[in-house]
Structure 1
Amino acid sequence: MTGTHIAELNVARLKYEINDPRVADFVNNLNRVNAAAERSEGFVWRLKEEAGDYSVVVDDDPRIIPNLSVWENVESLENFVFKTIHKRIYERRAEWFGMMEKMHFVMWPVEHGHQPTLEEAWDRLAHLNTHGSTDLAFGWDHVPTANLWRSARCETSAA
């Protein structure tokens, strides 16, 4: 099988521990959002852990939550992010997640059938933070056909 798909890594750091009631709405919606992703047109694969969807520990910090998935194309990913239940959760991100100092979202092409590792994804994110958007690692701004993110990035959560 030849051709490429798009992999994405999105990293967030919870403001509170995963069992804290202040992040309960986020935690309680994880399965719902992940199920919506898996049913979405263009979805290919996502990183899962046996213990649960939020059990991947990064740098010994259990409050960092990485999301790693593969999509047929950027349009499919963009539609999932901004046209499904994910959008409602995304709009409330300031309630649950702190601001990241560097870019925390990256996309890159992967060969059909390739399931990227978290280490590979971190390398792509580091490349983006070092070099800016390139064909090897990029954000929404590098994709001329991606438009939904432009309005979403300016939204703020209700106080």
Structure 2
Amino acid sequence: MIKYDIAQLNIATLLAPIDSPQLSDFVANMDRINTLAEESPGFVWRFQTKDGDATGIDYFCSGKTVNLSLWDSIEALHNYVYRSAHVEIIRRKKEWFHKMGEAYMVLWWVPAGHIPSIEEAAQKLSILRERGPSAEAFTFKKTFPVPSAPADTWGGECPAI
């Protein structure tokens, strides 16, 4: 049976430059929140630069911050996001980020061991924005189950018995 992890991308548009006084409290909490994620049950991986974060990534245009990670289940990710100290950051998001007019977070299933690229994540976000939630790209509000293994796992026709 193929094992899957849940991938998540979250982007946000900063209200000010990352090194500004307005974002100093956000920046001051990044290491703590990243460590909390890494120590949380179900955490698998997170995208980061050699500096240990992803604030220097401008794939989605400068002025945006990116979070891309893998978890072993939707429940584990949900618990980290909404039932840990991470929720303190969510409560303060209006201090640091612009309100997004379109989807800014996407979830999708990946085979365990697969590390998604920023390009793959951007494609999943585009799919969600264009088509709405589907098994290919979805949200916490409308999730989809882990893909099932193909009926034919032997790679050919089933022999007649």
Using the alignment, how far apart are the partners of 1:30 and 1:118 within structure 2?
A: 20
1:106 aligns with 2:106: yes
Residue pair 1:12, 1:104 contacting (<8 A) in 2 also: yes
Residue 5 of structure 2: aligned partner: 5
Per-residue CA deviation, residues 83-127 of structure 1 (Å, 9 max, x unaligned), is 111100110000000011210000000000011000000000000
Using the alignment, how far apart are the partners of 1:56 and 1:33 within structure 2?
A: 18
Residue pair 1:58, 1:65 contacting (<8 A) in 2 also: no
TM-score by length of structure 1 reads: 0.86
Using the alignment, how far apart are the partners of 2:136 and 2:87 within structure 1?
A: 27
Using the alignment, how far apart are the partners of 1:99 and 1:13 within structure 2?
A: 8
Residue pair 1:106, 1:124 contacting (<8 A) in 2 also: yes
Residue pair 1:14, 1:65 contacting (<8 A) in 2 also: yes
Residue pair 1:9, 1:106 contacting (<8 A) in 2 also: yes
Shifted more, 67-76 versus 50-59: the winner is: 50-59
TM-score by length of structure 2 reads: 0.85
1:36 aligns with 2:36: yes
The Cα shift of 1:144 comes to: 8.0
Using the alignment, how far apart are the partners of 1:144 and 1:19 within structure 2?
A: 38
The Cα shift of 1:55 comes to: 1.5
The Cα shift of 1:59 comes to: 4.2
Residue 142 of structure 1: aligned partner: 142
1:49 aligns with 2:49: yes
The Cα shift of 1:132 comes to: 0.3
Residue 72 of structure 1: aligned partner: 72
**Residue type of the alignment partner of 1:92:** R
RMSD between aligned residues: 1.6
1:89 aligns with 2:89: yes
Residue pair 1:11, 1:67 contacting (<8 A) in 2 also: yes
Runs of 4+ in 1 over 4 A off after TM superposition: none
* Structure 1 gaps, min length 5: 146-159
Larger Rg: 2
* Structure 2 gaps, min length 5: 146-161
Per-residue CA deviation, residues 26-83 of structure 1 (Å, 9 max, x unaligned), is 000000000000000000000010134121122441x201100000010000000011
